[in-house]
Structure formats: structure tokens, C-alpha cells
Amino acid sequence: MDTDGREPYQQILLVGIPNVGKSALANSLHRIGRISAAEKGKLKHATVSPQPGETKNITGLKIASHPNIYVLDTPGVLPPHILDDEVCTKLALTGTIQDCFAGEKELAQCFLSILNRSDEYKKWAKLSNSENERSFADRNIECSTSSEMGMKRKRQYPTDHTQDFIVHDVRRTLFEVISSFGGNVEDERLIEEELKAMHAAFQVPLESEHYAQNKIAAKLLNLFRTGRLGHYVLDSIPRKL
């Protein structure tokens, strides 16, 4: 107790740019915290969301007793002006600012240009090779079960791009388009080919081209941001620190 009769306490402030996982971290610390069973029973939590700017106020979550320790979850902060376009694009790509400011299609194109210059897609070669190397007999067996598979897939939700079979198709398609592209991987025509091929991989109907392109861009960005299309370092890291 201090001289006022209050129990001493410590506070830890979580500060960072929007959408980097501050609230998720605060919740995890609170959940595993060294606090009494009675307090655990009335755990509160911070709202976690894929949209930047979710947290609007500072919230204290208790993470330890005797001494009491609180973690303070705070709203994400950014400098009021970011003059460097490249920095802005990287921030937008990671979901730190709303997609509508940068344009979903432009961000998806930006992701594809990073993917095309990286080695990540090469890891998906086996998805394509396994198709090619399958024997004729295997294919026949598959034909007989394909209607069952079709039934299974129908029971799944083709509009939910987070399902494993869609992610698998997206990776395989991207690998095939990149590796069969004749020109330089930095050529913008490769990106256009990839976006076209994504219609089938994401099972997006070709009703309205504009609508379909936005849908594909949103799905692609979501898979990138949840790590399902590989891991990328957007900043170049100096070899010697």
C-alpha cells in the first residue's frame, strides 16, 4: 500500500501504427495474466478487427496482481503527413490505412509485383508438379470420384476464399502463370495475366468486370495479409546494423 492506502500498480502502454495487433496482444496478455480466478471470471477484452482504426479509446486490461499490472491498449497512430509514396504504399499494403484511400486493385497489383520478384511462389511448384506427374491411372481413379469431390466442394462455400482448396488453387495458379510467362517478371503484363487467372481460382463469376476485379483484389489482399500467400519483408534490411 502507498501512503494514500492504494495498492501500487504499474501500467504498460501499447503504442503503434494502426492494425498491427495491439489489441490482440493486449487480449492475449490479459488472458494468460497472473490474476485471480475471480478476476479471470469477468475478463473484459479489447475489440480486434481487420479494419484499421478499430480502437478509439484507451482501455486498461489487468495482466497481473500483487503488484497490479495493467496493459493499456491505445488507438493506432500515424504521422499526420507521410510524404514518401513508397512508405504510404507499404503502409496501405499491410492494412494500416483504409484500402479505399489507396485503391484495392492498385494494392493487389502492388502485392503481385512483390510476389513476382520474390522466391515465395517457387515454393508452390509442387502443387503444379503433383498435377503433371500424376499417372494416367490416377487420373482415371480421380474421374470416378470427381463427382463425389464435386459434391464435397459444393458443400463447401466457393465464395469463402479462406478455405484450403481455394488457397491451394490460388497458389498453384500464381505459380503456373509466373513460371510460364515468357518475359521479364517485372513486366506489368504478367500482373494483368495473374489477375485474369484469379477469376477461376477464386471462383468469381464474370458478371461485371469492375465488380469482379474489386472482389478478386480484396480476396488477394486478405490472403496476403493473413500470411497465406507467403511471408514478405517490405523494407530492405541493412546487412550490417
Ligand X SMILES: Nc1nc2c(ncn2[C@@H]2O[C@H](COP(=O)(O)OP(=O)(O)OP(=O)(O)O)[C@@H](O)[C@H]2O)c(=O)[nH]1
Show the binding pattern over residues 36-65: x = contacts ligand X (CB under 6 A), - = does not: ------------xxx-xxxx----------
Quote the CA–CA distance of 30 and 210 in Å, as a whole number: 44
Q: Which listed residue (18, 70, 115, 190) binds ligand X by CB under 6 A?
A: 18
> What is the closest distance, in whole angstroms, from the C-beta atom of residue 54 to ligand X in the complex?
4
Rg, C-alpha atoms of the chain = 24
CA distance linking residue 115 with residue 231, whole number of Å: 10
Look at residues 107, 83, 106 and name the one whose alpha carbon lies nearest to residue 96.
107
Residues 6+ positions from 27 with CB-CB distance below 8 Å: 45, 46, 48, 61
Which of 47, 129 has the CB closer to Mg ion? 47
Based on the shown chain and the rule CB under 6 A, indicate whether residue 24 belongs to the binding site for ligand X. Answer: yes
227 binds ligand X (CB under 6 A): yes
Residue 18 partner contact from ligand X, Mg ion, none using kind-dependent CB cut-offs of 5 to 8 Å: ligand X
Q: How far is the CB of 132 from ligand X (least distance, A)?
A: 32
Task: By CB under 6 A, tell whether 20 contacts ligand X.
Answer: yes
In the complex, minimum distance from the CB of residue 71 to ligand X, in angstroms, rounded to a whole number: 12
CB 215 within 8 A of CB 195: no
Site for Mg ion in 29-68 (CB under 5 A): 54-55
Considering only 22-30, 117-125, 176-184, 187-195, which stretch makes contact with ligand X by CB under 6 A? 22-30
Interface positions, 64-123, toward ligand X (CB under 6 A): 75-76
CB under 6 A: which stretch of 20-28, 32-40, 82-90, 110-118 binds ligand X?
20-28
- Residue closer to ligand X, measured from CB, 76 or 116: 76
Asked if residues 140 and 202 have their Cβ atoms less than 8 Å apart, the reply is no
Distance CA 32, CA 23 (A): 14
The Cα–Cα gap between 28 and 127 comes to: 35
C-alpha to C-alpha distances, 213 to 1, 21, 133, 191, 197, nearest whole angstrom: 62, 28, 33, 13, 11
How many residues line the site for ligand X (CB under 6 A)? 19
Please identify, among the stretches 19-27, 134-142, 152-160, 201-209, the one whose residues bind ligand X according to the rule CB under 6 A.
19-27
Residue identified by cell 498491427 is: 20
What is the spatial distance between Cα 2 and Cα 152, in angstroms, rounded to a whole number?
65
Residue whose C-alpha is closest to residue 204's, from 194, 235, 196, 118: 196
List residues near Mg ion by CB under 5 A.
23, 54-55
List residues near ligand X by CB under 6 A.
16, 18-24, 48-50, 52-55, 75-76, 226-227
